[in-house]
Structure 1
Amino acid sequence: MTSLSQPSSASHSSTTTGSRTVTGQFPAQRDDIADLITRRPLPGRGLDQVDPFLFLNHHGPQVYRPRNNGLPFGPHPHRGFETVTFILEGDIAHRDTGGHESVIDAGGVQWMTAGSGLVHEEVSSADFKRDGGPLEVLQLWVNLPSRLKMSPPKYVGLQREDIPSLELDDGKAQLDLIAGTWAGQVAPIQSLTGITMTTLTLTAGAHVQLEAPAGRSVFFYLVRGAVTVGGTESANNLASGTAAPGATASGIDVAAQHLVTFAHDGDTITVTARADAFLVFGHADPIREPVVSHGPFVMTTRQEINEAIADYQAGKFGGF
C-alpha cells in the first residue's frame, strides 16, 4: 500500500520503563488517501525509522456504505522489504505476480516478502464492496538487509484461526503470536530476519511484562485504548525532576494512535492497561545499513533504486 513519505510532527519523552528506556512517543498524523481515513506515525518528524521498521499506515476505522469502491490499492510494485498487514475490520483481497491470491478477513494477517520484486494489489472483496461495513487496517513495512533484498518473493495469508493465542495475566490479556516464538510457542511465520511480531488485547487493569531482548529494536503501536508503559523508575525520575512529559509515578501514559520508541537497553517492557486496549508489539535486530527509498522500492543505494525502476518498467516484475 502507498509509499514512503516525508516525516511529520512528533513529541518526545525519555524515561525508564522496566528495563527498557522510552525515547519517544509519536502521534499518528492524519493523511487520508482518497476517501480512506489514514493516519501515519512512522515516519514522523524526528523519527525516520525504527530500524528495521520503516513505515506504518493506520487505515480507518471507518464504515463503508453498500455499493462502495473499497480499498484503493490497485496493482503496484515493491522491491527490497517486507510488508505486514493487520486486518482488524473488513477484509483484503490480495493478488500478486508470484501467483498468490487470497481474501483475508478481520483478525487475519498478510505477510509479504517483496524481495527481488513483484506487483500486487490489495483491494476489498466483492462481498465487502457490495455490502459495505466497518474497515480498519494497519500496514507495516519492515526492511531487509542488503544480502536478502533480492530474495524470492513470498506471501503468507493467515486467517484469525491460524494465529495462536496465549493468555497473560490470568486471562486479562491475550497475545496473538504472528511471527517468531513466545514462551515456547512457535508462530506460523518465521521471517527471514527472525522478527517477533504480536498483537495484544488487554482488558482495563491488565498488567503484563513483555520480553524485548537487549539490542533488539522494539515496535510498539497503541491502536486503541490507553496504557501506561513503565514502572518504578518513573517515580524516581519524578522525585529528581527529570521525568518526561506524560510521566506518572507508574510510568509513561500512552494514548491511542501513538507509537512508542525505546532505547536498546534492558530486556523487558511493562504495560498496564488504563482502559481496554489493543496494540501491536514486536522486536527485531537492527540492520544498520543505509536506507534509500523511492516510492514502493527500498534499497541501500541510489543505483539499486534506478535498477528497480528499470526492471519494473521492463516488465521483469511480471503483470496480471
Structure 2
Amino acid sequence: MRKIKKKHKAAYAPMDDLVTYRAMPTREVEYIDPFLFLNHHGPQVYKPGNRGLPFGPHPHRGFETLTFILDGDIMHQDTGGGKDVIEAGGVQWMTAGSGLIHAEVSSEKFKKEGGPLEILQLWFNLPAKYKMTAPKYVGLQKDQIPTAKEDDGKVKVNVISGNWGDIKGPIPSLSDIHMTSIELQGGGRLTASIAAERNIFFYVVRGTVKVNGETAEKLTLVEFANEGEKIEVEAQENSYILFGHAQPFNEPVVSHGPFVMNTEQEIQEAFRDYQLGKMGRWEG
C-alpha cells in the first residue's frame, strides 16, 4: 500500500464573485513535483446576464495548464492561434513553454443564459530542457476523451494523458505525466499500482472516498509518500476525483505570478520578453 503522508483541505480563496478553493499551494503544501498549482472554481450557479469568468488576457511561460470543465464552459483564445469553446465534461491542455498570452472567459451564451459552473485548473511544471519549447494548445470535448470502466461500470476513468491499462490518453505529455479524472458511484472500488518513485496527485472534487483506508472528503488533496505502490479507492457516495502521477523533476522551482522557471534571472527575462511582445500581441 502507498503510504499517505498528509491530507490537506483546500483553502477558500474567492475571486470577486467566483467561488474558489485553492488546493495548492497553501501554507501546508507548496507543490508536489511536478504538480504545482490547483484552483477549484465553483460549484455555483450564475444568473442570466452575468460577467462570466474573470480570466482576461495574461501571459504564461515555463509550465503547462490542464483545465477541467465540470459544469459551464470556457472560451479559450491565445496568441499561438488556439481558439475554441469547451463545454461540460471537456478539458483544455495548454503548454505555455516559451510563452504566450491567453484568455479564459465564459462564452457569450453562458453570460447571457447563466447556469451551473464548476471548473478546475491544474498546473504542471516543465523540466528545464522543455521550458522554452514551442507553445501548444489542445481542447477536447467530453466525447473526445476515452474512458475505462471498472467495477462493473460503477467507476469511470477518463483518460487524458498517459495510459490506463490498454487505453492511451489523447494528449501526449512531454514529461510522461499520466492524468485522469475519475467518476465513482457510491460503493464503487478502484485499484491501481504506481511505482514508488513517482509522485501522485490525488484530489477529491466531489463526494467522499476511502483511499488506502483513510477517509478523504471533497476539497481534499491527499499527499502520498514515496513508499509502497498500491492505491485502493472506495467511494462512500457518488464522487469525482482527479488522479495523476509523474516522475519528479527534482529541479529548482522559481515562480513569480504567471511565470515558472528555474532561476530568478529567467523570471526577469520572462517579464522583459513579455513587455517586448515576444509572447505575442493580444488581438481580442
Q: Report if TM-score (shorter chain) is over 0.5.
A: yes
**1:61-210 mapped onto 2 (5 Å cutoff):** 61-210=43-192
Match of 1:252 in 2: 214
Match of 1:286 in 2: 248
| Partner deviation per Cα, 1:4-37 (whole Å, 9 max, x = no partner) | xxxxxxxxxxxxxxx2000010001111111100
CA distance in 2, matches of 1:25, 1:312: 38
| Partner deviation per Cα, 1:105-154 (whole Å, 9 max, x = no partner) | 00000000000000000000010001000000000000011110000000
| Partner deviation per Cα, 1:74-104 (whole Å, 9 max, x = no partner) | 0000000000000000000000000010100
Match of 2:263 in 1: 301
CA distance in 2, matches of 1:141, 1:64: 26
Match of 1:11 in 2: none
Partner amino acid for 2:37? Answer: F
Match of 2:30 in 1: 48
Deviation at 1:228, TM superposition (A): 0.6
Unmatched tracts of structure 2, length 5 or more: none
CA distance in 1, matches of 2:79, 2:11: 32
Deviation at 1:171, TM superposition (A): 1.0
Match of 1:221 in 2: 203
What is the aligned-residue RMSD (CA, Å)? 0.7
Partner amino acid for 2:250? Answer: R
What secondary structure does 1:20 align onto? coil
Partner amino acid for 1:281? Answer: F
CA distance in 1, matches of 2:109, 2:232: 41
Partner amino acid for 1:260? Answer: V
Contact residue 8 and residue 28 of structure 2 kept, 8 A: no
Match of 2:274 in 1: 312
CA distance in 2, matches of 1:104, 1:229: 31
What secondary structure does 1:307 align onto? helix
Deviation at 1:166, TM superposition (A): 0.7
Partner amino acid for 1:191? Answer: S
CA distance in 2, matches of 1:293, 1:46: 18
Q: Percent identity?
A: 56
Deviation at 1:211, TM superposition (A): 2.8
Partner amino acid for 2:39? Answer: N
Larger radius of gyration: 1
Deviation at 1:264, TM superposition (A): 1.6
Match of 1:3 in 2: none
Match of 1:265 in 2: 227
Q: How many positions carry a matched residue from both structures?
A: 282
Partner amino acid for 2:196? Answer: A
Partner amino acid for 1:213? Answer: A
Partner amino acid for 1:270? Answer: E
| Partner deviation per Cα, 1:219-261 (whole Å, 9 max, x = no partner) | 000001011111xxxxxxxxxxxxxxxxxxxx11111100001
| Partner deviation per Cα, 1:271-311 (whole Å, 9 max, x = no partner) | 01111110000001101011000000000000000000000
| Partner deviation per Cα, 1:58-86 (whole Å, 9 max, x = no partner) | 00000000011100000000000000000
Contact residue 184 and residue 240 of structure 2 kept, 8 A: yes
What secondary structure does 1:259 align onto? strand
